[in-house]
């Protein structure tokens, strides 16, 4: 683990990667809806043209391919940074069952406490881990349906082309669901939004006294 000088809650690298990820994810979602609309999975479910990036499937695909490199490279950089510095483990683990139930209960009673910005609550930790896993799954399933010949064995393992297409669609639903809750919460607790823009409070150096 790398020992570091006093640091911000969200170091500059994390802020840059977070906002690049937000842009890339939105490009991926809106262009994905453009591609989907050409060959729907749920009959009767269409996305309005104002929600689609690209006027029809071909330009939407070009947007999707452009966004995919940004998403995959930026996501990889975020994971490597988080693992090498120990930040991912420090911020997202451990998740205790009792704390999870308690936070869900409080949230259902609209008691959203976020006095200490430096600690993610159990629900936040779980949501962040789920969305990181969903992001990885989107890159993998996207690769499989993009190159079905090269990855035919992996495709078969996951149930075939159409099954993987549905898995890719479900991953999108998870990410969109996360995004709705995530953006709503960051607007309800705007100091978290400001911290993700400015860096937030200074933390003790890793390995220093708490
Ligand atoms: C587009 C609008 C978005 C806004 C306004 C937003 C806002 C924020 C804010 C305010 C935080 C800090 C939360 C806190 O300190 O309590 C945060 C963290 C985070 N956001 Fe977002 N976000 C957006 C998009 C996304 C997207 C698209 C994803 C992934 C699909 C995402 C994933 C995350 C993750 C994983 C963290 C934790 C980062 C870390 O500490 O390493 N966000 N976001």
- Give a three-class secondary structure readout of 144-192: HHHCCCCCHHHHHHCCCHHHHHHHHHHHHHHHHHHHHHHHHHHHHCHHH
- Is residue 117 lining ligand 1, measured as CB closer than 6 Å? yes
Query: Are 11 and 198 in contact, with CB atoms under 8 Å apart?
Result: no
E strand map for 16-118: none
Query: Are 33 and 51 in contact, with CB atoms under 8 Å apart?
Result: yes
Query: Are 20 and 12 in contact, with CB atoms under 8 Å apart?
Result: no
Distance 130 CA to ligand 1 centre (A): 13
Q: Residue 107: its pLDDT value, please? A: 83
Is it the case that residue 115 has pLDDT exceeding 70? yes
Is it the case that residue 210 has pLDDT exceeding 60? no
Please write the tens of the pLDDT for every residue from 47-101: 999 999 999 999 999 999 999 999 999 999 999 999 999 999 999 999 999 999 9
Is it the case that residue 151 has pLDDT exceeding 80? yes
Is it the case that residue 174 has pLDDT exceeding 80? yes
Q: Residue 112: its pLDDT value, please? A: 72
Is it the case that residue 207 has pLDDT exceeding 80? no
Closest atom, ligand 1, to C-alpha of 185: 10
Q: Residue 1: its pLDDT value, please? A: 54
Closest atom, ligand 1, to C-alpha of 88: 41
- Spatial distance between the Cα atoms of 83 and 75, rounded to a whole number of angstroms: 12
The whole-model pTM stands at 0.91
pLDDT, mean of residues 185-203: 94
Please write the tens of the pLDDT for every residue from 117-133: 999 999 999 999 999 99
> Which of 34-38, 84-88, 109-113 is the least confident region?
109-113
Is it the case that residue 209 has pLDDT exceeding 50? no
- Spatial distance between the Cα atoms of 169 and 183, rounded to a whole number of angstroms: 21
Cβ of 9: how many Cβ atoms within 10 Å? 19
Q: Residue 116: its pLDDT value, please? A: 86
Mutate to test the pocket of ligand 1, among 29, 182, 198 (most ligand atoms within 8 A of CB): 182
Average pLDDT value for the chain: 93
Is it the case that residue 4 has pLDDT exceeding 60? no
pLDDT, mean of residues 170-185: 97
Is it the case that residue 104 has pLDDT exceeding 60? yes
């Amino acid at each position: 683990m790398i020992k570091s000088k006093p640091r911000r809650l969200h170091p500059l690298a994390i802020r840059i990667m977070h906002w690049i990820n937000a842009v890339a994810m939105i490009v991926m979602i809106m262009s994905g809806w453009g591609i989907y609309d050409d060959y729907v999975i749920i009959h009767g479910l269409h996305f309005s043209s104002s929600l689609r990036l690209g006027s029809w499937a071909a330009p939407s695909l070009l947007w999707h391919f452009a966004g995919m490199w940004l998403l995959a490279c930026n996501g990889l950089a975020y994971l490597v940074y988080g693992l090498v510095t120990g930040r991912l483990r420090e911020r997202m683990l451990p998740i205790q069952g009792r704390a999870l139930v308690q936070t869900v209960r409080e949230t259902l009673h609209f008691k959203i406490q976020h006095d200490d910005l430096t600690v993610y609550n159990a629900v936040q930790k779980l949501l962040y881990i789920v969305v990181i896993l969903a992001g990885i799954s989107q890159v993998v399933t996207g690769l499989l349906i993009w190159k079905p010949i090269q990855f035919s064995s992996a495709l078969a393992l996951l149930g075939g082309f159409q099954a993987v297409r549905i898995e890719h669609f479900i991953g999108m639903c998870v990410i969109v669901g996360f995004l709705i809750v995530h953006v709503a919460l960051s607007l309800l607790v705007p100091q978290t939004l400001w911290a993700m823009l400015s860096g937030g409070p200074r933390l003790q150096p890793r390995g220093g006294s708490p």
